[in-house]
């Protein structure tokens, strides 16, 4: 089957999956909001208005105000930038590390594979969230630190996926032909095998962004993530927790934003996976 026909088949399967299309629309809307935050935000997210502290949703402030009179809608719009930036940078770090280690492990096998896989097993045995909490407590809670720590603790799943793909592909005819023609290991790994193992990695990346957004929101909610006055969905939730009895909107709206974002990425990732290989769903049943 030609590459063009494969693409057409992929898009046909994807469009038939209503939930996947809905997830894709949610992700596109989130990108639009994050990119055009300065234009969409009705107020400066850091402007304090003590005359309208904890004002409920209304015409002046559609999603209400917080304990300093700041517009919640504006802070949520700008907070989308932080959440998505942390998600993509952290997953980018995790993907690079996971692909390199998975490729080395799957291609060379033997003792190299055993050592890397035992290291992955050790990392998987450590509760990831508590590891992140411990590291952030030592090195500080800047945005860059959060991105790096989340990325350095999320690469194991990508590594195992890439390893499995390399074990399957390295004995294929096109790899044997490249090796017979004198291609170096690096060329075979990056120009031949890696290119053909990107499909499951793409799905893992999309699902990983959802996980990273959730972790960042949890860290900010606990007060060790993105620090005020920088807006983040997690630290808006923290204010909501402190005023839950009198300002329900501070908990409901950022909570819904996190829910819709994570759900959108999961639906999109699952839809792409099913469109690439619908037999995966059947094997999981």
Determine contact, residues 34/63, Cβ cutoff 8 Å.
no
d(CA 63, CA 261): 18
**Mean predicted lDDT score pLDDT of the chain:** 87
> What is the per-residue DSSP string for 122-157?
HHHHS-HHHHHHHHHHHH---HHHHHHHHHHTS-HH
Instruction: Tell me how long the chain is.
Output: 285
d(CA 83, CA 47): 21
d(CA 85, CA 209): 10
d(CA 207, CA 98): 15
Q: Residue 96: is its pLDDT beyond 90? A: yes
d(CA 153, CA 24): 26
pLDDT at position 183 is 84
d(CA 275, CA 270): 9
pLDDT-derived band of residue 2, with 50, 70 and 90 as boundaries?
low
User: Could you tell me the domains of the chain?
Assistant: 31-271 (1.10.3720.10)
| More confident of the two residues 278 and 232 | 232
pLDDT at position 283 is 42
pLDDT at position 70 is 93
Nearest Cα to Cα of residue 83 among 223, 283, 225, 253: 225
Measured torsion, CA atoms of residues 173, 179, 185, 186, in degrees rounded to the nearest 10: -80
Average pLDDT over residues 1-18: 73
| 132-186 pLDDT, tens digit each | 888 888 887 788 888 888 899 899 999 999 999 898 888 888 888 888 888 888 8
| More confident of the two residues 12 and 100 | 100
Determine contact, residues 94/158, Cβ cutoff 8 Å.
yes
Nearest Cα to Cα of residue 224 among 162, 137, 166: 137
| 212-262 pLDDT, tens digit each | 999 888 888 888 888 888 888 998 999 898 888 889 999 999 999 999 999
Nearest Cα to Cα of residue 223 among 213, 206, 212, 238: 238
| 179-206 pLDDT, tens digit each | 888 888 888 888 888 888 888 888 888 9
d(CA 5, CA 22): 24
């Amino acid at each position: 089957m030609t590459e063009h026909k494969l693409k057409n088949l992929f898009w046909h399967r994807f469009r038939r999956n209503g939930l996947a299309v809905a997830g894709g629309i949610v992700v596109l809307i989130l990108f639009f909001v994050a990119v055009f935050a300065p234009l969409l935000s009705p107020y400066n997210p850091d402007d304090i208005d003590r005359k309208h502290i904890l004002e409920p949703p209304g015409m002046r402030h559609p999603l209400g105000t917080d304990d300093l009179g700041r517009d919640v809608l504006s802070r949520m719009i700008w907070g989308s930038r932080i959440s998505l930036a942390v998600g993509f940078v952290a997953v980018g770090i995790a993907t690079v590390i996971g692909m390199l280690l998975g490729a080395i492990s799957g291609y060379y096998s033997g003792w190299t594979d055993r050592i890397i896989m035992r290291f992955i097993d050790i990392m998987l045995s450590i509760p990831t969230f508590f590891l992140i909490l411990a590291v952030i407590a030592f090195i500080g809670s800047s945005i860059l630190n959060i991105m790096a720590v989340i990325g350095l603790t999320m690469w194991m799943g990508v590594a195992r996926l890439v390893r499995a793909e390399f074990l399957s592909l390295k004995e294929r005819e096109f790899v044997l032909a490249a090796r017979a023609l004198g291609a170096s290991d690096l060329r075979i790994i990056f120009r031949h095998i890696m290119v053909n193992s990107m499909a499951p990695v793409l799905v893992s990346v999309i699902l990983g962004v959802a996980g990273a957004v959730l972790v960042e929101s949890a860290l900010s909610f606990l007060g060790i993530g993105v620090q005020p006055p920088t807006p983040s969905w997690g630290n808006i939730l923290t204010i909501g927790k402190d005023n839950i009895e009198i300002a329900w909107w501070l908990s409901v709206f950022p909570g819904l934003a996190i829910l819709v974002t994570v759900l959108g990425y999961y639906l999109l990732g699952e839809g792409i996976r099913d469109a690439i290989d619908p037999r995966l769903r059947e094997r999981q049943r």
